Amino acid sequence: MTGSEDRKAEARRPLRLRAGTGGEGSAPSVFGNVPVSVTVLAALLAVICLAMTLAPDAVEEGIADRFGLSPARLAAGGAGAGGWFWAIAPLFTHALIHATGTHLLFNLLWLFVFGTPIARRFNSPLRFFSFFALCSAAGGAFFSVFHLNDPTLLVGASGGITGLLGGLVRFAFHRPHSKPESAKGVLPLTDKSVLILSAVIIAMNASVAIFGPGMGAGDADIAWQAHVGGFLFGLIFFPLFDPARR
């Protein structure tokens, strides 16, 4: 799905793992009919990536170390450097950082694909950004469970974007005339299409642990746990954010 990878660290550097208002308007035609909230998020990610690319190496590394998610720092909690705030804040801020322009572009592609229908459905930038942020945090937390003792920094919006996909699964295949149980516009978790799609998406991401990242990823590692964690949060908690259910 979305791209999330790491690059090997030098001796002094840790391994960095890349994880992939009222109403909504539309962006200018250069982006097509894309909701404003999606365009704003994409622009923010692009500006941050450009700034880090142009910054001196020491500054770029300092930003990544501070705002990237360190599972060890999260596990240390209040006893770690920076206390509880810097233990928890990177659960959200890691999604704003990308290690390379290629990593960013790949994630932006899926952000537009999955984010557009979600933003239109929510019809609220606040609801959209909140959903994305919590999906990112869930992906980061799930990833951290598997890497508590690794010298790893997770960066990238992949967990949040895959969470958008999880939400999309809950309504994209809604057929009100043939599925009375989804009359309110959200398919139940037990729906056959939800179960099948979820199993396929999770299996595709988890297969990375067995078969590797695949063609085009080079020596990168894919943060499949962040994808799965974000997806599951979006899949399960989408109805809490969906205005159609209110």
Identify the residue whose tokens are 């097509």. Answer: 32
Rounded CA separation 211/222 (Å): 11
What is the chain's mean pLDDT, rounded? Answer: 83
The radius of gyration of the chain from alpha carbons, rounded to an integer in Å, stands at 18
pLDDT exceeds cutoff 80 at 12: no
Q: Tell me the two tokens of residue 39.
A: 């365009």
What confidence category does residue 178 fall into, taking pLDDT thresholds of 50, 70 and 90?
A: low
User: In this predicted model, which residue has the larger pLDDT, 30 or 23?
Assistant: 23
pLDDT exceeds cutoff 50 at 125: yes
What confidence category does residue 173 fall into, taking pLDDT thresholds of 50, 70 and 90?
A: confident
- What pLDDT is stored for residue 188 in this prediction? 92
pLDDT exceeds cutoff 90 at 216: no
Residue 155: its H or E element? strand 152-155
Contact between residue 20 and residue 2 where contact means Cβ atoms under 8 Å apart:
yes
Rounded CA separation 68/90 (Å): 6
What confidence category does residue 180 fall into, taking pLDDT thresholds of 50, 70 and 90?
A: low
Q: How far apart are the first and last CA of the chain?
A: 31
Rounded CA separation 18/21 (Å): 31
Rounded CA separation 200/47 (Å): 34
**Residue 215 CB neighbour total at 10 angstroms:** 6
b/e sequence 121-133, b meaning 16+ C-beta within 10 Å: bbbbbebbbebbb
